[in-house]
Amino acid sequence: MDYKVVGINISKNLIKQLNKKFPMIDVHVGDAANLKFFKNRSFDIVLFSNNGLDCLYPKEKRIEALKEIYRVLKPRVFHFFILYILITN
């Protein structure tokens, strides 16, 4: 099965490091709330890791990121969030 891995990160420095270590991965400097360089319905899976969604502020930016993720996902496919939730009594 063929697949392509694409990554985005807001850090230009991290993207440079990724390009050196993993030149076969297509990486972009970008913002999850603006995935303008990706076509509609172009991904089978979206993974937003390391509490990334929680790091977007204000709330409206998180909503925009969710809209963009929905836009780039093909119909009836998956989006994975990795969230860390602190529950206190």
- Tens digit of pLDDT for each residue in 38-77? 999 999 888 888 778 888 889 899 999 999 998 999 988 7
Q: Are 61 and 52 in contact (CB under 8 A)?
A: no
CB-side neighbour CA atoms (13 Å) of 55 = 13
Higher pLDDT, 88 or 8: 8
Instruction: Give the domain ranges of the chain.
Output: 1-30, 34-89
- pTM for the whole thing? 0.80
CA angle 72, 73, 77 (to 5 degrees): 175
Residue 85 pLDDT greater than 60, yes or no: no
